[in-house]
Structure 1
Amino acid sequence: MSDQFATIITDAIKQLNSLELPVWQKTDMFSTTYRGRQENVVNIVKTACQLAYTDSTHTVYELTFSKGCPGDTDADHYLNEEITPIKLGKTLPNMHVDCKYSFYAFGDADYMKDIEQIVNMAEAKGLNPEGMHYATKLSGSVNDLFDYFNEALSYAHEHIRHYVMEVTISVNSPSVSSN
């Protein structure tokens, strides 16, 4: 929530694009899409959030993670890339984040056991999951949150054919102190 929002967003993406990333990437007028091996995508998205972070700016990130869409085949070869850490030459912040997410399993009749397992994984990570209408709220460090995303998506990859996880992350929200 800054009058410099466009610069904040584009600078973070430009910093990432200056690196050799092991993913397919496309930016359009709505978003940036990263496609590739799950661990690489999650790490790149976390890094983008960290690069856009400043101490005094309320920032909201909208993310979608998915698997199983039959028409999504662009650059499939990136799905087999090695796990590659991002090397920026600087330390990135491990800021506090608040998050709400919804996990949707498609085509599985008994999906609630998988969603329960995924939420329990957040509890084990210390992210204090709280139920809310059609979502789960999490709170913790950005590193713990994205480590959890990797674990949850790995579980989902092994147990669910087609899924989508919709995520909203908020940093420095002025409404947190009023809750």
Structure 2
Amino acid sequence: MIKQACTKSDIAGVSFSIYPMSDNFVDIIKDSLEEVDTSKVHLKTDDVTTTVRGKLVHIFDVTKAIFMYAANTGEHVAFQATYSLGCPGDSTGDAYMAEDENPQNMEKIKDIKQFAGSKFSLYPLGGGDYMDVIYEQIDAMKKHVTVSPSHYSTRLDGEAVAIFNGLEQVFKATVEGGSSHTVMTVSISANSPSHKGVN
């Protein structure tokens, strides 16, 4: 077994997949990726997932924008992602880090109205009182969207932009609270037939 040496790094990463429930799914995915400004992150897509690496603010900006553009087509879109920051994890590749904290896509998407349902799970690894941290951040999400319990996760319902903004804030707060390696899994669905009568 190879033991990875940890170094101080602010590189965050996300591995995600987006699934438009449409015969036109290839164009929806490609058009969404092309519409988003990814100049401040490292982005690589393969046949399974897309990986985005860079500053936390920029990886959330990019994934939020990709989802918003895809959902704005009106098609049912599902999004699955795992966000991560800490060690073991990214410890090299600082060349992909934009120095500023200014998101490139926020102005274009901030006014898009799009109801979504979501579930997330937060994993503050390397800490002793992790359940207290998790409960604190679940409570913090209530400032952004409707929060309800769900098996193995926490359910969020509301505007998609608000969901992403809340997820970014609780992830950042967990990192700043001392978690040596923070992981968050997210599932988001927009324009689902199941949402009729919900929003």
| TM-score class, shorter | 0.7 to 0.9
> Of the candidates 99, 102, 110, which is equivalent to residue 118 of structure 2?
99
Distance apart, 1:74 and its partner CA: 4.7
Distance 1:108 1:164, change over 3 A: same
1:15 equivalent in structure 2:
35
Matches within 5 A, 1:1-179: 1-16=21-36, 19=37, 21-54=39-72, 56-79=74-97, 81-86=99-104, 93-125=112-144, 127-159=145-177, 160-177=179-196
Number of corresponding residues = 176
Cα pair 1:58 1:173 within 8 Å, conserved: yes
Cα pair 2:71 2:191 within 8 Å, conserved: no
Distance 1:87 1:55, change over 3 A: closer
Please, what TM-score do these two structures have when normalized by structure 1?
0.88
Distance apart, 1:49 and its partner CA: 0.7
- Give the 3-state SS of the residue equivalent to 1:66 in structure 2: strand
In the alignment, structure 2 segments of 5+ residues that lack a partner are 1-20
Where relative contact order (Cα < 8 A, 6+ residues apart) is larger, the structure is 1
Distance 1:29 1:107, change over 3 A: same
- Give the 3-state SS of the residue equivalent to 2:129 in structure 1: coil
4+ runs deviating over 4 angstroms? 87-92
Cα pair 1:55 1:172 within 8 Å, conserved: no
Distance apart, 1:54 and its partner CA: 3.4
C-alpha separation in 2, matches of 1:111 and 1:88: 31
Distance apart, 1:55 and its partner CA: 5.1
Deviations 1:110-169 (A, max 9, x none): 1001101110111122x1111111100001112211211221111011121112110000
- Give the 3-state SS of the residue equivalent to 1:124 in structure 2: coil
In the alignment, structure 1 segments of 5+ residues that lack a partner are none
